Structures are given as structure tokens and as C-alpha cells.
Chain A
Amino acid sequence: MVEDVIKAEGLTKIFNRSLIAVDHINFNVQRGEIFGFLGPNGAGKTTTINMLITVLKPTEGKAFVLGYDVAKQANEVRKVIGVVPQEYTADEDLTGYENIMLCADLYGVPREIAKKRALELFKLVELTDFKDKKVEIYSGGMRRRLELACGLINRPKVLFLDEPTLGLDVQTRAAIWNYIKRLKEEYGMTLFMTTHYLEEADALCDRIAIIDHGRIIVSGSPNKLKDSLGGDIITISVKENGDVTEIIRSIEHVKDVKDESGAYRIKVEAGEVAAPLIIEALRRKGCTVTKLSLTKPTLNEVYLEYTGRTIRDAEESKESLIARRIMLRRARGR
């Protein structure tokens, strides 16, 4: 059994001989984890996913899904993966049920199994009442859920999700997150997803890779990445006067303390672990902590640290973004 469910080695895609969409990236995804590609639009996320799902041929480098080469054993790869694309690809003229059965036929899932499974999946994504309605009348959230169901009809070992909540409102987004989490738990699947929502990467992914201009800038678990920024900030107020800086400094996990006129700003490694230790240590010295707040750095700060801009900035250079997107879409053939 292969432990690296997905493995990319120097994976590169150059469109029209000049536009480098993905630039020699290396990464690996382990069994059972949710791995996220985080980056602004046009960073090369969709191009990467399209190479992994064998819809685009890599210009250079190699990628393996469950040990199968995406270029040379494309058909083996296609059999074991499920895909939830960025666009709504379900046929509007057909009903939800017809759409999902079409997917089953394409994967060669035996009819009887497919019928049973389709009903099960409609229940999972809460579309049972709409299964015989034309997709035309579905809302954006419903269509996304239908795509999710279609991507699962063949019980894939690896599920690829391209921007699974793009353009959805906050509630629908949270619902989709729930389905994704449930999938991972119930089916033990490995998931590869792309997103440009920091909260999404943070909420769902076991590990992420930040990608920008076709390169992976940094990768790791969201917490590790946040920790790499230098840790959490604990701010406390203490009842007794007198300097407790030295006491705090001697506590495990504490990296730095600053006295800010009555309040102490403490930089620590793991905030949840350090906070009770600090309270306990101060209590033993006879000091009472009256207030405590714990601030964890968000992926926003991580992103800022590694790319030199916030993800919003990256998105807001609109003209260049739009130009790049159009170019990419054309080259990709959308």
C-alpha cells in the first residue's frame, strides 16, 4: 500500500510555450488527510488539480495518484478518483437523479449499486426532495451539493475538490464544510482541495500548501504554519503590583514578555498549554490573574508573512488578475 496517496515531483505546466501556470512544484498527500492548496485566483491551483485528475497533461515533472502515473496510467487514476469541479457541470436539462446516474454510467458502477448509492448520496447532501427536479431550478448551493454527490458515486479513494464553496453564502459554505468533514470520517477518503478562502483552509485542512505564481511557498499543517510565525499572544492583567516579568519569563513555552503599563503581553508557543501554566505559576507566587486573553495568529498572518501581502491584496490587483485569469482560462480551454 502506498502511503503517499498523491505525490508530485517537479510538476510543471506551461501554456502556449510561455505562460508558466505551475512551476516545478513538489508535494505529497498522505492517506486519509485533507490537503489544501491555498492561494489567490490565478495562482495555479486549478491547473494543478487538472493535471492530477488527468484532464491536463503536465509539461514537465511527474505526479502520482495512489502510485499511478497521471500521464502514463491516466485511466487507472480516473478509476479511483472523484472530482468536484469549480464550475457547475451538471446538465441543466436533466434532473438531479439523471445527472448522478449519468456519472455512474461513466464510471461503470453497476446499475443496482448505483441506484441504491444515489439515494444514499441524495440523503447525505439533503437533496432527496429535489432529486427528480430539473437542475435548472437548483440554487447555487444545491448545485454544488449535487456536484459533490456526483463526485462520490464511484466511492473514490481520493476526492478532488476545486474551490468547493466558491461564490456561496456563509451558511451554505458552512454546510458544505460539514459534508466534507463527514465524508472524510465516514468513508476514510483522502481529499485534495483548492481554495482561496483562508477560513476554509483553516477549518478543513489537515495540511495546506500556500501557492502563489505557480510555486509552493510553504506547506504544513495550518497550526504549524501559524506557530512558525512565533506563536500565540497571551495578554494578562495581574492584581498585585510589582514586576512579574521574570516569573513569567521562566515558565515553559514562554518566549517573550512585555510589560505594557499594567498588562503583560506574552508571546508563547502553544497558547492553550501555556495559559494554565502561567496562571498556576503566578498563583503559586501569590499573584492573581484578573484578566486573560489568548490571540492565535490566523492564516492571514501566515499568508502575509510568506508572500509579503495579504490574500486580499493579491486579489485586489484586479486588472492583472483578470488578465491572467482570462489568459489561463483560454489556454486551459474554458
Chain B
Amino acid sequence: MMSVIVFTLIIFIGSYFAGLLGSLTGLGGGFVIIPLLTLVLRVDIHYAIGASLVSVIATSSGSAAAYVKEGITNIRLGMFLEIATTAGAMVGALIAVYIPTNFIAILFGVILITSAIMSLRKKAEHISREKSKLAEKLKLNSSFPTANGPVAYSVKNVGGGFFMMLFAGVISGLLGIGSGALKVLAMDTIMRIPFKVSTTTSNFMIGVTAAASAVVYLQRGYIDPGLSMPVAIGVLLGALSGSKILVHTTSSGWLRWVFAIVVTFLASQMIYNGFIGKI
């Protein structure tokens, strides 16, 4: 068995790269952390979920601080959709106790593959100007700064997006991930929000969503300080490096491919180990 110091060092390095990739792709660091902890280091999945949640909060808050200042984040939209994600996260954390760990592992793998596929889709930038009554009532339509001045956009399908966010919240609470991909899916595909806005607003919401389930996990003893420490520090440093790169580049196409390949491998391992009951 490894000593605490070696174990901590390995987790720290793994977490740094998880945070970097998670931030650049908008998928979050939890996707790499949980397989790393459970499959490679044989950590019980409950501890892995707890540590991942802590890192998710650090990542989201750390990079949201940078994005919010850029003025890209739609704070009202984030706030409104947080009703759905926090309610979902609470439900997810509460039912997690009653779900067998191998089922959680399989579900994790399925969500992971879905997210990887979605992150590979061609991102056609669409600026919707259609008027939606509900979006207007909720003051969700806004604009974001670009090199050529502010660009105005409208929000479509508020109800559909809200429902998808409820689901994203449950998954986040159940698996201890940010479910950034599901949030981006809701905003990008359903609500037709420009990609940069949906990525940063999703990131903005992830911290609150994770906090809503972390308060449950904290009291259930899922959040172990010795394990969460290197995970949180590593992921945060990685995510900060990532957010510096993201703000200054327009394309990260090759990175999505790297991430998709890594993720598909990890996901199949999670599903396989879930089926043979090794998790």
C-alpha cells in the first residue's frame, strides 16, 4: 500500500491535468478525477464522488471569477436556471445513498461518453434574435462583448432548457461531477445561446449546483479531507491555467479530440468494472 505522501502526490498531478482539460473543454475536472481515483488508485467511489465535488466547486468558482469580469456570463440566466440545478442536485445527492455503487459507475460511464460525443459536435455559432415571451419576461436576453463590439442575442425554449437543467442537477448530485456538458447542451442546443455565453454561464452555475449536493455529502462523511486536499488544489491550479488559455484563444479543436479519446477509454473502464461488480 502506498504511503500518504506518495498517494497525495500522484493525486495532485492527476488532478492538475484533469482541471486543465476540464476547463479547456468546459466539461469539468470530475470526469477524469473519479475514474482516476476509483480505477487506478482503488478509492471507494463514495470518497471519490466527495473529493470530486469539492474540486468541482473550486474549478467553477475559480474560473467563473475570471469569466464574470469579462462580462460574457449571463448572470440572470444562470440565476434562473440555478433553481432547476440546485433542486436537481439535492434530489441526486439524497437518492445516491440508495443506489448500488456499480450502477453509479455504469451511469457515470454512460454520461461520460454522451458528454464526449457532444463536445465533438461542430459548434456553429448561432445568434438567435427570435422573441420569446417568457425569455423577455425573465429578462434573459442579453449581449456579450466581442472584438467587434457587443453582440445581442435572444434566448429560446426557456421551459425545455429549465427541464434539461433539472436533469443536469440530478446527475451532478448523483455522480459528483459538474455536468457542464449537460448544462451546455441545455443552453447551446435547446435555448440557442451563443457558445461562449453558454460555456461561461454553465461554469458560473456549476459551483452553486455542486454546493447544493456537497452540503448533503459533507454530513454523510463522503468528503474526506486527506483525499479532497490534493484533488481540490490540483484541479484548481489546472483550471486556472486552462481559463487563461481559453480567454485568449478562439479554437480548441484538437483538445476536444484528445479529451474525447481519454474520456471514452475511462468511460468504458467504468462501465466494464461496474458490470463485473468491481466498483
Q: Are A and B bound to each other? A: no
